[in-house]
Amino acid sequence: MKHLFAITITLLLASTVAQAQDTTVATPRRAHHPSALGNNADYSMHLLYDQPVTSRELIQGCRHLTLDIDATGFFYDAEYATSMAKGYTVAGFRLSPSLAYGINERAQLRIGFNATAFAGLDSLYRLRPTLSLVYAPTKWLTLVAGTIYGSHTHRLDAPVYDPSRWIFNYQEDGLQILTKTKLWNSDTWLDWQHYLTPWTPDQERFTMGTRHQFRIINIQKRKTEWAGHDFYKDNELGWQLSLPIHFIASHRGGELKTIDTNTVTTFNERIGLQIKHSFANALRPSFHNIRFDMSVYDYHLEDRDLDRPGQAFYSTLSYEWMHWNKQQMADWAVRAAVGFWHGNHYFSAFGDPRFWSHTAYASLHVPQSTINAGYSIYNLLTFTLSVEHEFKGLNLGLQFDACYNPDSSKNNTDFLFGFYMRFKERFLLF
């Protein structure tokens, strides 16, 4: 651990000295305005998203070595009323430096580590090496082996994938296939979480997932230039009708039957309909997005004898305002969303526990005699408000979430508050 930090400090000092001698420079940062994400994501904290490397960046970085620094400080306070999850308060930081080498105009090797520390712990919460091989044979297809683009980059919604995994389980290792076209973008991945050593009484754990977004109708407005700059060239304005589809399978099992836990494989699917209207101010570089989502969810196990299937319905209405100041390189994004959730025996192994039904949770986590305790039908009213700001490489974000259960007479509201600061920069070594 000490050697990893020593290497990082040495590289930082070396790059600083080299810049003082004009032998290397900091490469221009890619514009990380929230609007550049395509507005297809179902999360609220845009600037926590890790953008996959583009074909242009691979070409520009061919035969070059860069040092990427990613440092984040955060504070989250979750006050949960549900009995299926405990609230938490965590303050900490994450340091994720990496060296990236352009193998050729289509491939990149990246190596580094992720170090996460929580305030109040005498040691690191987690320290893991990272190694990624990225290959982009075409502009619309990217293959990743090793450490993949995970967490918020999957663009999954909370009932399927808990956003707090960004804090506790940030890194994912395995394989990934990314696609992006005008009418279709997708993310298919394998995250291997626990290796099963042969002939040991243990269980392997891995997750397979795929997310697809199909654009069915796209009625665009005429693009507008601002101050002689076509700022909207990457931001399609007008009406869009899209079809989001998610599928996640989580497996826990092993070859030996001597352990006292079952082999369990859970499946979660989502199919929805998304209507979005985007418009902009011709006098100022600001964007407005109004979006309505309506989705159905399904949950079931491979072994239907362990538990019965479950379903859910979720509809949300959101508004997002984004602003960019060209002269001062300052970005702002404000997003507010309200929603209604109706679940019937729903559960997701990696989803936000506030959306679980008591009966589904009990069937997998408590003795069989108490499975019927609790309720199967679960209704929620949800509200999310987030504010993000980017200024010359420093990102700041605030988030507030609330879930209200109208069927509960007491302890019927869950709250979550979050704050983060993130610094990302790239240094060209040679």
Give the model's pLDDT for residue 429.
Answer: 92
pTM of the model: 0.81
Q: Give the integer Cα–Cα distance in Å for 192 and 288.
A: 39
Encode pLDDT of 230-268 as tens digits: 444 545 678 999 999 999 998 877 655 544 456 778 899
**Whole-number pLDDT of residue 223:** 53
Determine the Cα–Cα distance for residues 414 and 356; give it in Å rounded to an integer: 13
pLDDT-flagged residues of the chain (< 50) = 1-43, 226-232, 234, 258-260, 328, 366-373
Q: What pLDDT, on a 0 to 100 scale, did the predictor assign at position 248?
A: 92
| Per-residue pLDDT, 417 | 93
As a whole number of angstroms, the distance between CA 343 and CA 296 comes to 10
Q: What is the pLDDT of residues 346-368, one digit of tens each?
A: 888 888 888 888 766 655 554 44
Round to whole Å and give the CA distance between 315 and 296.
9
Show the domain range for 75.
2-428
**Count of domains for the chain:** 1
- Tell me the three state secondary structure of residue 224: coil
| Residues 6 or more apart in contact with residue 295 via CB below 8 angstroms | 157, 244, 270, 271, 272, 273, 313, 314, 315
CATH code of residue 316: 2.40.160
- Confidence (pLDDT) at 269: 93
196 and 204 Cβ atoms separated by less than 8 Å = yes
Buried b (16+ CB within 10 A) or exposed e, 88-119: eebebebbbbbbbbbeeebbbebbbbbbbbbe
